[in-house]
Amino acid sequence: MDKKRQLKVQSFEEIVNVLKDESINEMLFKIANEVKIKEFGNVVFVRGIIEFSNYCRCKCAYCGINCNMKNTVRYRMTKQELILAGVAAAQVYQTIILQSGEDLYYSAQMIGEIVSEIKKHAKCAVTLSVGERTYDEYKCMKDAGADRFLIKHETADELLYQEFHEAPLSKRLRCQQDLKELGFELGGGFMVGLPKQTDEILSQDLLTLKRMDVDMAGIGPFIAHPDTTLWGYPDGDAKKTLKVLAIARILLPKCNLPSTTALNVKGGMDNALLCGANVIMQKATPYEYRKLYDIYPGRDARDVPLDVQYIELKQKLEKIGLVAK
């Protein structure tokens, strides 16, 4: 009880202290789970994600589809293919996510047409995750019916951000602000265990989520990709990621927090759902493209029909007392 009262994670220092204190973990996870249950009960939101292009103009050092990757086999789904895949995914999932590399082949207008066409044929919320665009481009997507937008700040440390992206953090935060202003539900997030990252930076990361007023946050471990310049650095630690997730739950009680695919790769899905996470994303990408969307190794690219994979997950969740929605 005393310890519970001590577990404060509102200020920069408090968060750093909790990150460094390993004796507090059990208490932290327990409280995060209590907060999650208070806000969401035993419900887990399940979303379907379609990765529709792996062309990318960015140079993110950690990412296996960055524009410097010479061995990446590139693909782009056609507008018609994407609409069909979106409508099919919406038969299973209440929210679908359309994600791609930063591929300017798809104009804002084209993305808007895809969103409105999907929504004409299926009842679902549409989340976009297509990277940095201008205010006017985001507006065009919003006007076409897009509901949410995922764009992570990746790391809140300006120097690290610049080093890994060869671009400034301010530009990324500007996009988040624009999206918020336009009325999108905003999904942010960052990686845990990036080379040179410290607990102080992680504390800044968590407070950045709060400052940007995100409605969702994807928090996952860094996983080194063999073709990138960060190969050889150790992967992010699953336990540390769970701690950061648990702090995020306490700091942002109402925020949607997925058990990220990267954390699932590290075997953390069940644990994440018991220490703060309330969302799972499943792949709804057509089979032929799944293996090509290779942002980091170990991702599940099995060919399982959407309804089967959804039912499998639902049953798995039932075993730990959770209900898929």
Which residues contact ligand 5AD (rule: CB under 6 A)? Answer: 62-63, 152, 154, 191, 220, 222-223, 225, 262, 295-296
Tell me the closest approach of the beta carbon of residue 298 to ligand 5AD, in angstroms.
10
CB 188 within 8 A of CB 209: yes
Within 10 angstroms of residue 251's Cβ, the number of other Cβ atoms is 19
For ligand 5AD, the closer of residues 149 and 296 by Cβ is 296
- Residue 201 has, within 13 A of its CA and on its CB side, a CA count of 18
CB 100 within 8 A of CB 53: yes
For ligand 5AD, the closer of residues 139 and 225 by Cβ is 225
For ligand 5AD, the closer of residues 154 and 178 by Cβ is 154
Q: DSSP assignment, residue 254?
A: T
CB 218 within 8 A of CB 230: no
For ligand 5AD, the closer of residues 119 and 225 by Cβ is 225
The bridge status of strand 95-100 relative to strand 148-150 is unpaired
Torsion of CA 76, 82, 88, 91, to 10 degrees: 120
Which residues does 90 contact at the CB level (< 8 Å), separation at least 6?
A: 48, 96, 118, 121, 122, 123, 124
Angstrom CA distances, 193 to 109, 154, 180, 220, 297, stand at 37, 11, 28, 9, 16
Angstrom CA distances, 319 to 93, 265, 312, stand at 21, 20, 11
For ligand 5AD, the closer of residues 152 and 283 by Cβ is 152
Pairwise CA distance, residues 34 & 168, whole Å: 37
For ligand 5AD, the closer of residues 112 and 236 by Cβ is 236
For ligand 5AD, the closer of residues 7 and 238 by Cβ is 238
Tell me the closest approach of the beta carbon of residue 121 to ligand 5AD, in angstroms.
27
- Nearest residue by C-beta to ligand 5AD? 296
Tell me the closest approach of the beta carbon of residue 247 to ligand 5AD, in angstroms.
18
Within 10 angstroms of residue 113's Cβ, the number of other Cβ atoms is 16
Pairwise CA distance, residues 181 & 186, whole Å: 10
Tell me the closest approach of the beta carbon of residue 236 to ligand 5AD, in angstroms.
7
Q: Which residues pair with 48 in a beta bridge?
A: 96, 282
For ligand 5AD, the closer of residues 41 and 168 by Cβ is 168
For the chain, the first-to-last Cα distance in angstroms comes to: 34
Q: DSSP assignment, residue 285?
A: S
Tell me the closest approach of the beta carbon of residue 318 to ligand 5AD, in angstroms.
29
For ligand 5AD, the closer of residues 34 and 235 by Cβ is 235
10 SS3 class? coil
